[in-house]
Amino acid sequence: MALTIAIVSYLLGSIPTGYLFGALAGVDVRKTGSGNIGATNVARTVGKGRGVATLLADAGKGFIPAYVAAHLELAQSAVAIIGAAAFLGHLYPIFLKFQGGKGVATALGVLLALAPLATLISIVVFAVVIFISRIISLSSIAAALAAPISLWLLSYPATYIVLATFLAAMVIIRHRGNIQRLVAGTEPRIGSR
């Protein structure tokens, strides 16, 4: 059953919600802005409303399978694999030739289902960094780094700490280009053109 749920979880994660919201507006978000299918690029290219919808949908893709798995009395390792499958579906969606987003919202959904208090800390870190820097990518990286530390400090199971570490590492890897621009001082801030 866990394997079946993991496959379904990957397929759910693969649904390219940002691409679909862009297409509804007549825009291929992969060919505009940063070229990413995530909420930030959707908001910048087709409007904040569709950006918020993408954020919620992408988070839901992670939250739903992780929450269901956690309440089916499966082993924690199986729950972690199911959550990771949804996340990897977003990063490498079968429906877009494995070219997906950066995974921030989907990771948020997974961790919100499994470690809500620790995830709240990551959300606070995101909010503080974005208030200070006005840079979404930097805020996302900081929140990702905070996730496994928060789980560890709050004594969540080791399996979930490993999962959070994996999610954080992948989010940071997917932000390679942003990190280069941050170092160069060219990463855009909110409200800049």
The reported pTM is 0.93
- Break the chain down into helix, strand, coil percent, rounded to 5: 75, 0, 25
Residues 169, 62: Cα–Cα separation, whole Å: 17
What pLDDT sits at residue 78? 96
How much is the pLDDT for 141? 97
Rg for the chain (alpha carbons), in Å?
16
Cα(36)–Cα(39) distance, integer angstroms: 9
**Nearest-CA neighbor of 38 among 17, 63, 64?**
17
Alpha helices in 71-115 (DSSP H): 76-91, 104-114
pLDDT of residue 192: 57
pLDDT given for residue 191 in this prediction: 67
Residues of the chain with pLDDT under 50: 193
